[in-house]
């Protein structure tokens, strides 16, 4: 079905014995792999398994430390992404790489602006943008400043930018991580459309169901090595997980334990208001209860957590912690009162990427780790105990946080709040960009904390996570809590309908009429 | 689907990513390059000049550079916390002028103390401006530097303010065991600031504020306060440096220390403290200060045309910044590629049949 000349081999890209080290640490080793022309090829593995690294090498974003990359059977030696783009290989990165202060239009055509007499041809640019929107099904205001867009929309701009470069091989690294189910479905549709037009796609993702639904071939990596490559049709999520972990994972979620003290209300928030983000939110969380917060991106979930933590100021509303009014006007006060926040963006809001793991863990509780003003080496043992508990490898504790895998970084974020066990834990997307093994560890940790009496507010875009862990689920929409369900009554369908604000049975895609 | 046909994983347990953690020599050289360069120059001067390695010369060098070293201690904290202080040269001048003015009419010791306090206050103003209005500190202190310098000119009317009291000159001239007091002050300040940064929790806050302000804030660090205090400390250091200099020449002068702010930043950067904030050390800045001092000293001792001195200094600053650039520039990448080519035998496999 491919219209490629018959003389070319069927592989568009071949990597041979490719390896890559970062600061002496091997991220990838001896990987040999072929990408079929016109196929969608999935790369899966735990975080730190090397799948993003492999994707970046194929896209010329980073150079391999060893081995050879062949495109159309010819050895290539990409010096920077520009070389790869010239060959029609474009990447859409996991970390968004846009110019935040410029518009979507400018970002999409950055470096390839259509010109006329040496000046940017605005009319042609806009026409081309409209075409791209049409073919992708995305609708992003071309004049919107990218930094002001939601992460999901920024992701779309990235995809548009790749499309604008007439990519024949697109490397997509976790493209759906920040997207809602609807947006994800439309992105997968875009990928299928592109394949039909002969574009090859390398699809790096954590979402196995998504990978199996989309890809033709799937490659599993583990600890920087290739484990297996097989036709996606022959695979199941369970078998992929087994290959990724090297063992089987019986059960994703730990057993749900009863609420420790159902009569002790830890958090009582009443009528919280902040601009359009929070429009009168009231909720209670009891000791040992995990309250799941579902809702679309932008529904006010993150804003709720930030307001409870004092990171954003409220217009009005009261917050009580253990029955005492909390006048948390700053994160410092919240920390002192026993509130912990694991923010959604670990790179921007969570970690000091350039500092060591130990330093990051200690940062929020240096008082407890010091004698007077001086840091106490003796008390620093507490940090090691926490890292042991979370199974962060010992040889990774003195390296800069940026050298850790996503899963280990997320564990460090949690460890930071366990120096002193908090009364209330606010976890915003606690497993975003985290591999399955680390996910399981984080789920267990959240369950254990709740079992020890911590009240937990769990925000997640992964519905199964909310339904799998929480005792009670609230759904937010446009700054309000629209539904409050005990877990026994919560179903994916009910939660999604509430999140989208659709009355039961209006959209055929959600399962049709009951 | 009971059995899985996964390729048998004959790999050892996957808990550790199994990688030796040896630092590459290049990375070590980047981190400790300042030490190597410092020692190399020290050795070269020792061998090429009979006067260099004499206590007389070395103590002179330290005494001359005590003021800039003191300012570098303050400046290092500011830069690690993510700021810039371009007003220290002006604070240095104004503190000296204030001390000299007061000493002429009152108690010289109190006058000197007031000079330091004036520096502290001016630093507090800098910090408050930067924090309260969240303005870029580079611009804010550029502006306040003009203002402070202008105030100094008004106070003096453009004239030198001489002080004829012995006590005023003691700070810059007096010696203890044949070592100038200013050297003790410099050493004490460097040690205290260094311990503050590495051993106290407040030092950690400074690193956190510059490393990732939002993450620090969400960890309960009062980032604005931390930044304000680094500017206050920097101002106090500049005031201290200013009165030491004024004491040494027994006079205050409105344009004293012009351009010193840039020399301070140069020394800090040469030492290897990141201008992006979040990383650095006091000992680095001290070595940076002394490296620049030794270059000047070398020109003197070896009677080299002093016109070449700024060229050498500028080149060294550039080398320092290039060595610090942690991103992979095209040159770094080319070197890596070349190494890799050399390491690989020419066994480029052909395309699959």
Least CB-CB distance to A242: which of B4, B21, B208?
A: B4
Q: Which residue of A has its CA nearest to B210?
A: A352
pLDDT, tens digit, for every residue of B253-265? 888 888 899 999 9
d(CA A47, CA A221): 10
Q: Which residue of B has its CA nearest to A377?
A: B199
d(CA A252, CA B303): 76
d(CA A87, CA B153): 64
Give a three-class secondary structure readout of chain B: CCCCCCCCCCCCCCCCCCCCCCCCHHHHHHHHHHHHHHHHHHHHHHHHCCCCCCHHHHHHHHHHHHHHHHHHHHHHHHHHCCCCCCCHHHHHHHHHHHHHHHHHHCCHHHHHHHHHHHHHHHHHHHHHHHHHCCCCHHHHHHHHHHHHHHHHHHHHCCCCEECCCHHHHHHHHCEECCEEHHHHHHHHHHHHHHHHHHHEHHHHHHHHHHHCHHHHHHCCCCHHHHHHHHHHHHHHHHHHHHHHHHHHHCEECCCCCCCHHHHHHHHHHHHCCCCCCCCCCHHHHHHHHHHHHHHHHHHHHCCCCHHHHHHHHHHHHHHHHHHHCCCCCHHHHHHHHHHHHHHCCCCCCCCCC
B207 to A352: CB separation less than 8 angstroms, yes or no: yes
A222 to B11: CB separation less than 8 angstroms, yes or no: yes
Within a domain: B127: yes
Closest by CA to B252, choosing from B157, B163, B120, B147, is B163
The better pLDDT of the pair A206, A72 is held by A72
Within a domain: B345: no
CA of B322, closest CA in chain A: separation in Å? Answer: 18
Domains annotated on chain A, with CATH: 11-245 (3.40.50.300), 280-504 (3.40.50.300)
CA-CA distances (angstroms) from residue A505 to A475, A481, A496, A500? 18, 21, 11, 12
What average pLDDT does range A131-146 have in this prediction? Answer: 82
Is residue B14 within 8 angstroms of chain A, CB to CB? yes
d(CA A212, CA A237): 8
What do you get for the CA distance between the two ends of chain B, in Å? Answer: 34
Cα torsion B283, B327, A357, A430: sign: positive
Residues of chain B with Cβ-Cβ distance to A221 below 8 Å are: none
pLDDT, tens digit, for every residue of A406-439? 888 888 898 888 888 899 999 998 988 777 778 8
The model's confidence at residue B96, banded by pLDDT at 50, 70 and 90, is very high
pLDDT of res. B348: 41
CA of B324, closest CA in chain A: separation in Å? Answer: 14
A246 to B11: CB separation less than 8 angstroms, yes or no: yes
CA of A228, closest CA in chain B: separation in Å? Answer: 6
pLDDT, tens digit, for every residue of A468-492? 899 999 999 888 899 898 888 888 7
Domain range for B119: 26-325
CA of B49, closest CA in chain A: separation in Å? Answer: 41
The model's confidence at residue B329, banded by pLDDT at 50, 70 and 90, is low
The better pLDDT of the pair A63, A502 is held by A63
pLDDT of res. A375: 83
CA-CA distances (angstroms) from residue A179 to A156, A176, A342, B223? 9, 5, 20, 32
What do you get for the CA distance between the two ends of chain A, in Å? Answer: 41
B182 pLDDT more than 70: yes
Residues of chain B with Cβ-Cβ distance to A19 below 8 Å are: none
Residues of chain B with Cβ-Cβ distance to A355 below 8 Å are: 207-208, 211, 278-279
pLDDT of res. B279: 87
pLDDT of res. A48: 66
Strand partners, B71: none
B348 to A236: CB separation less than 8 angstroms, yes or no: no
B21 to A25: CB separation less than 8 angstroms, yes or no: yes
pLDDT of res. B93: 94
The better pLDDT of the pair A233, A461 is held by A233
Cα torsion B128, B129, B133, B136: sign: negative
- Across all residues in chain A, what is the average pLDDT? 83
Closest by CA to A233, choosing from A42, A418, A100, is A42
Is residue B199 within 8 angstroms of chain A, CB to CB? yes
What average pLDDT does range A227-236 have in this prediction? Answer: 88
Spatial contact of A12 and B10, defined as CB atoms under 8 Å apart: no
B215 to A25: CB separation less than 8 angstroms, yes or no: no
Residues of chain A with Cβ-Cβ distance to B343 below 8 Å are: 66
CA of A246, closest CA in chain B: separation in Å? Answer: 6
CA of A258, closest CA in chain B: separation in Å? Answer: 30
pLDDT, tens digit, for every residue of B28-56? 666 777 888 889 889 989 999 888 888 88
Strand partners, A486: A472
Identify the CATH number of the domain in which residue B181 sits. 1.10.3470
The model's confidence at residue B152, banded by pLDDT at 50, 70 and 90, is very high
A158 pLDDT more than 90: no
A457 pLDDT more than 70: yes
Residues of chain A with Cβ-Cβ distance to B14 below 8 Å are: 222-223, 245-246
Q: What is the domain count for chain B?
A: 1
Give a three-class secondary structure readout of A19-75: EEEECCEEEEEEEEEEEECCCEEEEECCCCCCHHHHHHHHCCCCCCCEEEEEECCEE
pLDDT, tens digit, for every residue of A243-288? 877 755 445 788 888 888 888 889 999 999 998 889 999 999 999 9
B1 pLDDT more than 50: no
A393 to B17: CB separation less than 8 angstroms, yes or no: yes
**Cβ partners under 8 Å of residue A511, min gap 6:** A493
Least CB-CB distance to A222: which of B14, B27, B349?
A: B14
B9 to A222: CB separation less than 8 angstroms, yes or no: yes
Is residue B2 within 8 angstroms of chain A, CB to CB? no
Is residue B214 within 8 angstroms of chain A, CB to CB? yes
Q: Which residue of B has its CA nearest to A241?
A: B6
Percentage with pLDDT > 90 across chain B: 42
The better pLDDT of the pair B87, A387 is held by B87
Helix axes B223-249, B166-173, angle to 10 degrees: 110
Full DSSP string of A321-354: ETTEE----SHHHHHHHTEEEE-S-IIIII--TT
Burial of A121 (0-12, 13-18, 19+ CB in 10 A): middle
Within a domain: B342: no
* Long-range CB pairs of B203-206, under 8 A, 24+ apart, other chains included: B204/A359, B204/A362, B204/A363, B204/A366, B204/A375, B205/A366, B206/B77, B206/B80, B206/B81, B206/B230
With b meaning 16 or more CB within 10 Å and e meaning fewer, what string describes A464-484? ebbbbbbbbbbbbbebebebb
In this complex, how many residue pairs, one in chain A and one in chain B, have their CB atoms less than 8 Å apart?
Answer: 159
Within a domain: B15: no
Residues of chain B with Cβ-Cβ distance to A352 below 8 Å are: 207-208, 211-212, 215-216, 278
Residues of chain A with Cβ-Cβ distance to B279 below 8 Å are: 354-355
B208 to A363: CB separation less than 8 angstroms, yes or no: yes
Full DSSP string of A464-491: HHHHHH-SEEEEEETTEEEEEEEGGG--
pLDDT of res. A328: 59
- Among B residues 222-251, those touching chain A with beta carbons less than 8 Å apart: 222
Is residue B207 within 8 angstroms of chain A, CB to CB? yes
pLDDT of res. B70: 96
In A147-271, alpha helices (H): 151-164, 181-196, 208-214, 237-245
Residues of chain B with Cβ-Cβ distance to A367 below 8 Å are: 201
Q: For residue B17, which phi and psi values (nearest 5 degrees)?
A: -80, 5
Spatial contact of A113 and A133, defined as CB atoms under 8 Å apart: no
pLDDT, tens digit, for every residue of B132-149? 898 999 999 999 999 999
pLDDT, tens digit, for every residue of A380-416? 888 888 888 888 877 778 888 888 888 888 888 988 8
d(CA A251, CA A242): 12
Residues of chain B with Cβ-Cβ distance to A224 below 8 Å are: 17
pLDDT of res. B6: 38
Angle at CA A236, nearest 5°, toward A233 and A241?
Answer: 135
pLDDT of res. A346: 84
d(CA A118, CA A126): 17
Q: Which residue of A has its CA nearest to B338?
A: A65
Enter the pTM of the model: 0.71
The model's confidence at residue B324, banded by pLDDT at 50, 70 and 90, is low
Within a domain: B14: no
A225 to B343: CB separation less than 8 angstroms, yes or no: no
pLDDT, tens digit, for every residue of A81-132? 778 888 888 888 756 677 888 888 888 888 777 777 777 778 888 888 998 8
d(CA B120, CA A133): 58
Is residue B7 within 8 angstroms of chain A, CB to CB? yes
Within a domain: B310: yes
Interface test with B, best of A77, A80, A354 (most B CBs within 10 A): A354
Q: Which residue of B has its CA nearest to A228?
A: B7
CA-CA distances (angstroms) from residue A232 to A11, A14, A209, A212, A312? 17, 19, 11, 6, 46
Spatial contact of A473 and A294, defined as CB atoms under 8 Å apart: yes
Q: For residue A340, which phi and psi values (nearest 5 degrees)?
A: -125, 140
B202 to A9: CB separation less than 8 angstroms, yes or no: no
d(CA B124, CA B282): 21
H/E run at residue A124: helix A122-136
Within a domain: B195: yes
B208 to A11: CB separation less than 8 angstroms, yes or no: no
d(CA A390, CA A430): 14
């Amino acid at each position: 079905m491919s219209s490629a000349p018959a003389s070319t081999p069927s592989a568009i890209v071949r990597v041979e014995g490719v390896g890559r080290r970062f600061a002496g640490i091997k991220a990838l080793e001896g990987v040999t792999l072929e990408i079929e022309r016109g196929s969608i090829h999935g790369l899966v593995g735990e975080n730190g398994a090397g799948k993003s690294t492999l994707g970046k090498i194929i896209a010329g974003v980073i150079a391999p430390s060893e081995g050879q990359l062949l495109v159309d059977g010819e050895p290539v030696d990409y010096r920077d992404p520009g070389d790869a783009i010239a060959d029609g290989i474009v990447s859409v990165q996991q970390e968004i790489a846009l110019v935040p202060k410029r518009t979507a239009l400018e970002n999409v055509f950055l470096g390839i602006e259509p010109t006329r007499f040496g000046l940017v041809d605005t009319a042609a640019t806009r026409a081309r943008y409209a075409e791209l929107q049409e073919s992708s099904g995305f609708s992003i205001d071309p004049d919107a400043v990218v930094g002001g867009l939601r992460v999901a929309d920024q992701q779309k701009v990235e995809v548009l930018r790749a499309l604008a470069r007439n990519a024949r091989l697109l490397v997509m690294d976790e493209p759906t991580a920040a997207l809602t189910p609807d947006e994800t479905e439309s992105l997968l549709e875009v990928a299928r459309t592109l394949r039909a037009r002969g574009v090859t796609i390398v699809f790096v993702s954590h979402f196995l169901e998504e990978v199996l639904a989309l890809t033709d071939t799937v490659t599993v990596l583990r600890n920087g090595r290739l484990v297996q490559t097989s036709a996606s049709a022959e695979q199941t999520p369970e078998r992929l997980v087994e290959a990724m972990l090297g063992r089987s994972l019986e059960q994703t979620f730990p057993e749900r334990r009863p609420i420790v003290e159902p009569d002790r209300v830890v958090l009582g928030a009443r009528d919280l208001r902040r601009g359009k983000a929070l429009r009168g939110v009231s909720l209670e969380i009891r000791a040992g209860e995990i309250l799941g917060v579902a809702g679309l991106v932008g529904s006010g979930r993150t804003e709720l957590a930030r307001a409870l933590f004092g990171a954003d100021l409220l217009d009005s509303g009261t917050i009580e912690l253990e029955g005492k009014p909390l006048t948390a006007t700053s994160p410092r006060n919240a920390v002192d009162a026993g509130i912990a926040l694991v923010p959604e963006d670990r790179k921007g809001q969570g970690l000091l990427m350039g500092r060591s793991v130990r330093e990051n863990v200690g940062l929020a509780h240096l008082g407890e780790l010091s004698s007077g003003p001086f840091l106490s080496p003796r008390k620093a043992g507490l940090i090691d105990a926490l890292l042991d508990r979370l199974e962060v490898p010992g040889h990774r504790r003195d390296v800069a946080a940026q050298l850790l895998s996503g899963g280990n970084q997320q564990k460090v974020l949690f460890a930071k709040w366990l120096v002193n066990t908090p009364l209330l834990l606010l976890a915003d997307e606690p497993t975003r960009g985290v591999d399955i093994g680390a996910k399981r560890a984080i789920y267990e940790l959240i369950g254990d904390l709740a079992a020890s009496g911590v009240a937990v507010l769990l925000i997640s875009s992964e519905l199964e996570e909310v339904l799998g862990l929480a005792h009670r689920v609230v759904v937010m929409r446009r700054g309000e809590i629209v539904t409050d369900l005990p877990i026994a009554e919560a179903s994916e369908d009910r939660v999604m309908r509430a999140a989208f604000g659709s009355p039961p049975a209006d959209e055929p895609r959600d399962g049709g009429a009951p | 689907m009971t059995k899985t046909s996964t390729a048998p994983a004959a790999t050892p347990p996957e808990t550790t990513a199994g990688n030796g953690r040896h630092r590459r020599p290049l990375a070590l050289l980047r981190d400790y390059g300042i030490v190597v360069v410092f020692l190399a120059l020290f050795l070269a001067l020792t061998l090429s000049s009979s006067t260099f390695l004499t206590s007389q010369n070395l103590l002179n060098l330290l005494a001359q550079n005590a003021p800039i070293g003191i300012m570098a201690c303050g400046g290092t904290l500011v830069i690690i916390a993510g700021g810039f202080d371009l007003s220290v040269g002006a604070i240095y001048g104004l503190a000296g002028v204030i001390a000299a003015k007061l000493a002429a009419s009152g108690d010289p010791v109190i006058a000197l103390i007031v000079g330091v306090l004036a520096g502290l206050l001016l630093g507090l103003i800098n910090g408050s401006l930067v924090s309260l209005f969240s303005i870029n500190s580079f611009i804010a202190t550029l502006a306040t530097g003009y203002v402070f310098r202008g105030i100094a000119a008004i106070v003096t009317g453009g004239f030198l303010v001489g002080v004829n009291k012995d006590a005023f000159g003691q700070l810059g001239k007096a010696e203890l065991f044949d070592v100038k007091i200013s050297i003790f002050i410099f050493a004490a300040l460097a040690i205290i600031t260094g311990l503050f940064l590495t051993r106290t929790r407040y030092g950690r806050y400074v690193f956190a504020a510059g490393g990732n302000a939002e993450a620090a804030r969400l960890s309960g660090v009062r980032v604005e306060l931390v930044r304000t205090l680094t500017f206050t400390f920097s101002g106090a250091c500049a005031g201290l440096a200013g009165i030491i200099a004024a004491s040494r020449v027994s006079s205050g002068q409105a344009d004293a220390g012009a351009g010193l702010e840039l020399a301070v930043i140069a020394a800090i950067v040469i030492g290897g403290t990141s201008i992006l904030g979040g990383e650095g050390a006091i000992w680095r800045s001290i070595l940076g200060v002394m490296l620049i001092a030794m270059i000047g000293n070398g020109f003197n001792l070896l009677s080299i045309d002093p016109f070449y001195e700024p060229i050498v200094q500028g080149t060294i600053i550039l080398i320092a910044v290039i060595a610090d650039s942690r991103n992979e520039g095209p040159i770094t990448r080319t070197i890596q590629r070349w190494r890799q080519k050399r390491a690989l035998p020419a066994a480029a496999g052909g395309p699959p049949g």
